Structure 1
């Protein structure tokens, strides 16, 4: 029944309904993302390649009509199937007027469900035939057709079908969090929380309380108990981003979570069981840190069960042009302007440039270009000063990549008057990574 990689997003505040729908849809060959929060559904619609949305109408906080409205206004290639356990004529009419193509009343049979899905997908195929899309290939919210990205997609599918811990390695800006999200939403845990935590972005004294939570009176200012990220992620997935930045004492605590499947809140000696999948990510070479005594070997082996390498943008060939076109379209829509044409000379520089900040840096450069006064064509003079030279610089064939990157970092820093915060933003790295790069120059 399902076309190759047809993705369905299911939204319902009932965990039981989510699990039943997910099981039935997966059995028919669909890729299924299941969530209980409307805000998370809208975020997925903006990042994932969804063909059909199945949404409950009556939910707490925000109803399903807001999802239908969002799809109608922002997702032209998506169909909607509305479901409800509280049927009214007015509700059905409103759902159809808002943008739902199909409407089902709970409880419904499998035959009714799949008949409605068939009708919705048939309409979608007709729309695509009438208006062929020029959008770049996108899987799991990630754009790319290069051989390197095909390997990543295969690794995501393998990791999603497993319950093992995952270690994602790659330079800053390569999309490690997107890969982690794709693993979560393709797994059996998709109906439960995905919680990303930047271990390098939270000061060490706060990291433990943020991860493990605390009880009332655990420390000065702890006026009440608060659950940590591990409890928030229960039955779901937690991403420990920049795991290499965790201190050795924190690494011991993380190892216990992996070994025992339990945590202790600050201020309590009572362990609590947690059912979570841990995905870790790093922009450093962990086995080198192990050799230097900066990362625990036992924790490394616990994390390094499934490894995924996020390729740098410079190794992704023509994906650069796909990403450029995607970001031009995205920011043109944001600023309400007609997408400009990019000259071949400018595209040539973008292709040849080594992109030390990877996709995040490319996005920032295109954002900068599109935020300038409207022009029908963008050319080399429109590029930031640090990119108006040869993409790799004169004589670079005899220089190492590290030397080229160091020169680029200096150019970016000079172009913003030494402002490290702004330079880090342009490069698509955090301040700590920028400081490390500057120490090498």
Structure 2
């Protein structure tokens, strides 16, 4: 298999030097692109997607440091090496302090330049040989050609090199768990467990036991010892999804575990050491939650060592055809239907939709279109109907919560045959509060006594 080359972007207004450097670096096995000004370089970066930029310091118009500042704003993980015939120690110190990877003076030592290039590429995410041999398997679940996503993945690859805590922000349905799994696969912990828990999907009364485990008899229903998810992830990665939904009392306990690297199961007097890497995710604005006293600031800084902002599907529209066809092929193979793609008008509808549910909504739309099509191409009308139904099917939060509470209370009444005291204990609420909940939903306990 042909080895995948690393892409370099050379920037200099000296065309003779550009030509000479290009010959040397292509001879060393790199794919070389050139730009004769900082402005041209910025225009080329989204198309070329270089792994490294090498730029002269002194150029007409935008100089090397101005180019670096612009790159850092747009694509912070892209390494930059600056070359200059006017180098000095103060210049080099200032450049590296601001984040420039390396500062080399002319005339260039070819060996030193190649060594710096190799070091920058290795630190920024692996050599060409590594990419070829690994087949980019660490990110194989992520389908994209978006420069924004590629930049995020570059940061994720760098974050994977350490044990630093990572906070992934993004709207619901954008694929935060996929990014977490990719970081785990790229890390030194890849051969250890990856354990995910949705902090918003587990009742407050059970979440502590779920995370830290419990001993037999610690509470009603604890029939045997349970190790908990921290110990299940020992040596690996624990992914705390929707961390913003974690109740405040449990935030205190989680902070203590992260600080001390030890935990105590519910009902136990003994602590045990834990070795896990924490990746968390949220769709909430945690800064606002902190201001409202719903999230601890000290825990926020402990979790947010590296921050990754996952774009919505509407912000990466160039990926919609890739994703839609990927999911279509996957579902068609599973169902055995001979559906090969989308009609042109259908793809236009996909590209122009607002996608409030992000990739998760797109998956649903593709699956629905496949299920209902009678031809080899999914039509625009099927796509439009599926998108409309998906939007209409998402109820307001208040309505969804009301419906959940009502269904939950009805199930409890059925289970306990209308015994309010028993139901209140199962729900972890006092009887007075539980009666209020029943009254709010017009549920009469006596009606369930003979059910």
Range into which the TM-score falls when normalised by the shorter chain: 0.5 to 0.7
Deviation per CA, 1:302-334: give whole Å up to 9, x if none: 011001111100010210010011011111101
In structure 2, how many angstroms separate the alpha carbons of the residues matched to 1:337 and 1:329?
A: 10
* Superposed counterparts of 1:154-303, under 5 Å: 154-303=154-303
Alpha carbons of structure 1 residues 388 and 302: separation in structure 2 relative to 1, 3 Å: closer
In structure 1, how many angstroms separate the alpha carbons of the residues matched to 2:260 and 2:246?
A: 19
Residue 364 of structure 1 corresponds to which residue in structure 2? 364
* Superposed counterparts of 1:290-439, under 5 Å: 290-383=290-383, 385=385, 387=387, 409=391, 411-413=392-394
In structure 2, how many angstroms separate the alpha carbons of the residues matched to 1:332 and 1:138?
A: 26
Alpha carbons of structure 1 residues 138 and 185: separation in structure 2 relative to 1, 3 Å: closer
1:226, CA displacement in angstroms? 1.1
Residue 446 of structure 2 corresponds to which residue in structure 1? none
Contact 2:255 2:299 in 1 (8 A): yes
**Once structures 1 and 2 are overlaid, which stretch shifts more, 333-342 or 251-260?**
333-342
Contact 2:235 2:276 in 1 (8 A): yes
In structure 2, how many angstroms separate the alpha carbons of the residues matched to 1:240 and 1:139?
A: 20
In structure 2, how many angstroms separate the alpha carbons of the residues matched to 1:187 and 1:4?
A: 22
Contact 1:243 1:281 in 2 (8 A): yes
Alpha carbons of structure 1 residues 302 and 4: separation in structure 2 relative to 1, 3 Å: farther
Residue 103 of structure 1 corresponds to which residue in structure 2? none
* Superposed counterparts of 1:11-160, under 5 Å: 139-160=139-160
1:386, CA displacement in angstroms? 6.3
**SS of residue matched to 1:371:** helix
Contact 2:138 2:183 in 1 (8 A): no
Alpha carbons of structure 1 residues 2 and 308: separation in structure 2 relative to 1, 3 Å: farther
**SS of residue matched to 1:316:** helix
In structure 2, how many angstroms separate the alpha carbons of the residues matched to 1:138 and 1:299?
A: 29
Alpha carbons of structure 1 residues 303 and 366: separation in structure 2 relative to 1, 3 Å: same
Residue 396 of structure 1 corresponds to which residue in structure 2? none
Residue 44 of structure 1 corresponds to which residue in structure 2? none
TM-score (norm 1): 0.58
1:374, CA displacement in angstroms? 3.3
Q: Which has the larger radius of gyration?
A: 2
1:138, CA displacement in angstroms? 9.7
Alpha carbons of structure 1 residues 234 and 338: separation in structure 2 relative to 1, 3 Å: same
1:290, CA displacement in angstroms? 0.7
1:269, CA displacement in angstroms? 1.8
Larger relative helix fraction: 2
Deviation per CA, 1:223-248: give whole Å up to 9, x if none: 22110000101111000000000000
Contact 2:241 2:280 in 1 (8 A): yes
1:340, CA displacement in angstroms? 3.4
Q: For the aligned residues, what is the CA RMSD? A: 3.1
In structure 2, how many angstroms separate the alpha carbons of the residues matched to 1:309 and 1:155?
A: 10
Contact 1:340 1:375 in 2 (8 A): no
1:359, CA displacement in angstroms? 0.5
Contact 2:365 2:386 in 1 (8 A): no
Contact 2:370 2:378 in 1 (8 A): no
Deviation per CA, 1:356-399: give whole Å up to 9, x if none: 1111110010011111253122222213536369xxxxxxxxxx
Unmatched tracts of structure 1, length 5 or more: 6-117, 126-136, 390-407, 425-441
Contact 1:138 1:144 in 2 (8 A): no
1:412, CA displacement in angstroms? 3.2
In structure 2, how many angstroms separate the alpha carbons of the residues matched to 1:233 and 1:312?
A: 29
Alpha carbons of structure 1 residues 2 and 251: separation in structure 2 relative to 1, 3 Å: farther
Contact 2:331 2:367 in 1 (8 A): yes
Unmatched tracts of structure 2, length 5 or more: 6-128, 405-451
Contact 2:172 2:283 in 1 (8 A): yes
Alpha carbons of structure 1 residues 209 and 326: separation in structure 2 relative to 1, 3 Å: same
Contact 2:168 2:281 in 1 (8 A): yes
In structure 1, how many angstroms separate the alpha carbons of the residues matched to 2:387 and 2:229?
A: 40
Alpha carbons of structure 1 residues 374 and 308: separation in structure 2 relative to 1, 3 Å: same
TM-score (norm 2): 0.57
1:3, CA displacement in angstroms? 4.1
